[in-house]
Amino acid sequence: QVQLVQSGAEVKKPGASVKVSCKASGYTFTSYNIQWVRQAPGQRLEWMGWINAGSGNTVSSQKFQGRVTITRDTSANTAYMELSSLRSEDTAVYYCAREVVGAVWFDPWGQGTLVTVSS
């Protein structure tokens, strides 16, 4: 079955970077996009950006431009989201999700990765 499995929880200090992975299985990785969405504690879902796993083209939210880097490794069927210059407000659960190219809906989602930013 189609599945996205994310890397484990991280604790980072302010100013550091974090890289979250999202390993796909059960489908042709390069035929879909991978989206990244985060959710701060008790807050709403917030879109961060996406990557076309085939071409490697990316788009990110203006809010995160300059701080977020989305990449993929097609040999490992894995997408990555790296967020730099972390601050306490970046404490959140980070999700990846699969998206059909040309569609705008996310299914399925990874289990989420908690990133805690604390000094």
Partner 1 sequence: QSALTQPRSVSGSPGQSVTISCTGTSSNVGGYNFVSWYQQHPGKAPKLMIYDVTKRPSGVPDRFSASKSGNTASLTISGLQTEDEADYYCCSYAGSFTVLFGGGTKLTVL
- Smallest distance, Å, CB 54 to partner 1? 15
Q: Whose Cβ is closer to partner 1: residue 13's or residue 105's?
A: 105
Q: Whose Cβ is closer to partner 1: residue 29's or residue 94's?
A: 94
Q: Whose Cβ is closer to partner 1: residue 12's or residue 112's?
A: 112
The burial class, CB within 10 Å (0-12 / 13-18 / 19+), for 83 is buried
Residues forming contacts to partner 1 in the complex (CB under 8 A) are: 35, 37, 44-47, 50, 59, 61-62, 95, 97, 103-112
- Smallest distance, Å, CB 112 to partner 1? 6
Output 26-31 pairs: Cβ under 8 A, ≥24 positions apart: 26/1, 26/2, 27/2, 27/98, 29/53, 29/72, 29/74, 29/77, 30/54, 30/74, 31/101
- Smallest distance, Å, CB 59 to partner 1? 4
